[in-house]
């Protein structure tokens, strides 16, 4: 496995203590598998830091990377949205990160991600 890209739904599942997500993170730590969380997903999930200890600890793990959107990435996202006739910037960034890194997507909305990256490996959380 090259790693996993977490979308916002996966972060919410983590916060809720989802057993599958917890096991995935334990295994990723054991094998030093990279976990990617696009910055927009963090922004969508980060609402009540005083009660989000699980998410805060996860984001501090050395295996977790949080790619941002710079000008070049923004253009790539725009082109993907135009090509797929969709509009969710964060989902498009998830799909682009997964494509670029060869990673699996962990999502609560597999159909949305599949529209943006039909060849991606997608798992529902």
Residues 11-63: pLDDT tens digits?
999 999 999 999 999 999 999 999 999 999 999 999 999 999 999 999 999 99
Predicted pLDDT at 82:
98
* pLDDT at position 1 over 90: no
Look at residue 26 in the predicted model and tell me its pLDDT. 98
Q: Which domain holds residue 15?
A: 4-124
Q: How many domains does the chain have?
A: 1
Q: How confident is the model at residue 118 (pLDDT cuts 50, 70, 90)?
A: very high
- DSSP-assigned states of every residue in 12-34: HHHHTT-HHHHHHHHHHHHHT--
Q: CA 106 → CA 13, 43, 79, 93, distances in Å?
A: 10, 17, 23, 13
Mean pLDDT calculated for residue range 86-109: 98
pLDDT of residue 75: 98
Mean pLDDT of the chain: 97
pTM score, whole prediction: 0.96
pLDDT > 70 in the chain, percent: 99
Q: Residue 16: which CATH number?
A: 3.40.50.1010
Query: Taking Cα atoms as reference points, which of 30, 23, 31, 25 lies closest to residue 6?
Result: 25
């Amino acid at each position: 496995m090259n790693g996993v890209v977490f979308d916002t739904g996966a972060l919410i599942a983590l916060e809720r203590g989802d057993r599958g997500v917890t096991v995935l993170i334990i295994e990723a730590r054991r094998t030093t598998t990279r976990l990617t969380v696009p910055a927009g997903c963090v922004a969508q999930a980060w609402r009540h830091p005083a009660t989000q200890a699980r998410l805060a600890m996860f984001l501090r793990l050395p295996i977790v990377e949080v790619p941002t959107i710079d000008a070049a990435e923004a253009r790539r996202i725009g082109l993907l949205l135009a090509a797929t006739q969709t509009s969710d910037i964060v989902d498009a960034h998830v799909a682009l990160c997964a494509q670029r890194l060869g990673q699996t997507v962990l999502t609560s909305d597999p159909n949305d991600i599949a529209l943006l990256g039909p060849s991606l490996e997608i798992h529902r959380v």
